[in-house]
Amino acid sequence: MLHAVPTQPARFMERYVLEAVPRYTSYPPATRFHDGVGAANWSVWMDEQPERPVLSLYVHIPFCKTMCWYCGCNTTVPNRDERVARYLDALDREIRTRPAPENGIVHHIHFGGGSPDMLSPERFHRIMDAFRDRFEIADEAEIAVELDPRGVTEDLAEALAAAGVTRASLGVQDLSPEVQTLIHRIQPAETVARAAMRLRRAGILAINMDIMYGLPAQTVERVEATARAVADMGADRVSVFGYAHVPWFKKHQRAIPEDRLPGASERFDQMHAAAACLKDAGYAAIGFDHFARPEDSLARAARAGELRRNFQGYTDDPYDVLIGYGASSISESRQGYLQNLTDPAHYAQALENGTPVQVRGLERTPTECETGERIARLLCDFEVEPGPDGFDAEALADVIADGLVVLRPDRLIVTPAGRPYVRNIAARIDPAFQATVNQHSQAV
Ligand code: SF4
């Protein structure tokens, strides 16, 4: 069934859809990171943590078996196993030596990439052993791993389950053979279903699936078919991401045929169609691009007003400190953000030489913390209370006039029509925002 897509006034295209706004996965945005903040700041920040901070650990595996043309991640195809082995040695060293709060307790561990399924079971266990040696891990901790469905063998599924993994995220994107050919990622629906079955059979019961819109040759019908398929496969959470075409930044994207890319209006329709399918299938909409079964922890957090926003999008992770290990990983605490060297070889070299890998970031001012929290509340709850100086009605004039928000003295409320544009609305309560099309991503 093709869903009716709400029509948007033509002026919305220029005013909102094409407006360059931050993703607001951090505040201030990562575009403001600089090299004046580094490892020395991290040591100070760790000394300032509460008595028993809740910790979240992220580990980046920047390797894949093949390159998907649409990929926007920091990853490479390693031509020699020595590159992976060297990286793993460096990772082990970073985990064991980097300052961290001594009395912290870990509630979340996330393996991202790249494709963590590139790791052999032994290598996966090695990282988990390093974490267990270094940290106290809560019995009920969530251990999540991003996986390429094509790499999920029965052996891997069992090894991940034995290592304590509780949640897996499978990259699905689009199930149409034509789209898969154009994005260089051939994985029929059966491959995804088999991966999910192997994981569940091994005991990893929470399965996320990521789908996309805006890919070459995608249509509303194809996006709907993919959304229905992941719902039928029983995904607990579904993320719906728009393809960001930045071939000047990600050179492999030059292989994407630009004349097959949907236009801004088609992207909008595809996004709506995916959302409508998932809601029909019983998913709760979480923020502007996540969907979850009502019993999933993300949906429960949303109902409780405990949803948060970080570099992975929406999360229910209640951390005080997020420690990002590996190349390009970003760490976060109340005091600020720090990013590691992005090139895996440079990262490994620095750890071999004993030089810092945390090389850029920023320290947050109290005002930035407060603004960041208000923006997060808007993106998570679709409403926010005024800041110390109230609301800037002038900055909000267009979204008020267009019916995207209702401004009351005690709060700003995003209307249902405004939800797809919530990042545009966030930009209007962000005093530091300056629209710079080349630095930020398209809102829809
Ligand atoms: S599997 Fe994921 S990380 Fe690897 S190239 Fe494809 S999209 Fe990028």
Measured CA distances, 164 to 105, 137, 152, 282 (Å): 16, 11, 16, 29
Look up the ipTM and state it: 0.99
Q: Which atom of ligand 1 is nearest to the CA of 77?
A: 5
Query: Whose C-alpha lies nearest to ligand 1, atom 7?
Result: 71
* CA count, 13 A, side-chain hemisphere, 300: 6
| Distance from residue 378's CA to the centre of ligand 1 (Å) | 30
Say whether 365-437 and 29-361 share the same fold: no
Q: Which atom of ligand 1 is nearest to the CA of 146?
A: 2
The SS3 call for residue 100 is coil
Distance of CA 68 to the CA centre of its chain: 18
Domain boundaries along the sequence of the chain = 29-361, 365-437
Residues in the chain: 444
**pLDDT tens for residues 242-297?**
999 999 999 999 999 999 999 988 999 999 999 999 999 999 999 999 999 999 99
What is the rounded distance in angstroms from the CA atom of residue 119 to the CA atom of residue 424? 39
The token pair that represents 76 in the structure block: 């490479």
What is the rounded distance in angstroms from the CA atom of residue 362 to the CA atom of residue 338? 7
393 DSSP assignment = T
| Distance from residue 399's CA to the centre of ligand 1 (Å) | 36
What is the rounded distance in angstroms from the CA atom of residue 216 to the CA atom of residue 256? 7
**365-437: CATH topology:** Arc Repressor Mutant, subunit A (1.10.10)
pLDDT on residue 415: 96
Look-up of token digits 């400190």: 321
**pLDDT tens for residues 73-128?**
999 999 899 999 999 999 999 999 999 998 999 999 999 999 999 999 999 999 99
pLDDT on residue 4: 57
**pLDDT tens for residues 360-407?**
999 999 999 999 999 999 999 999 999 888 998 889 999 999 999 999
**29-361: CATH topology:** pyruvate-formate lyase- activating enzyme (3.80.30)
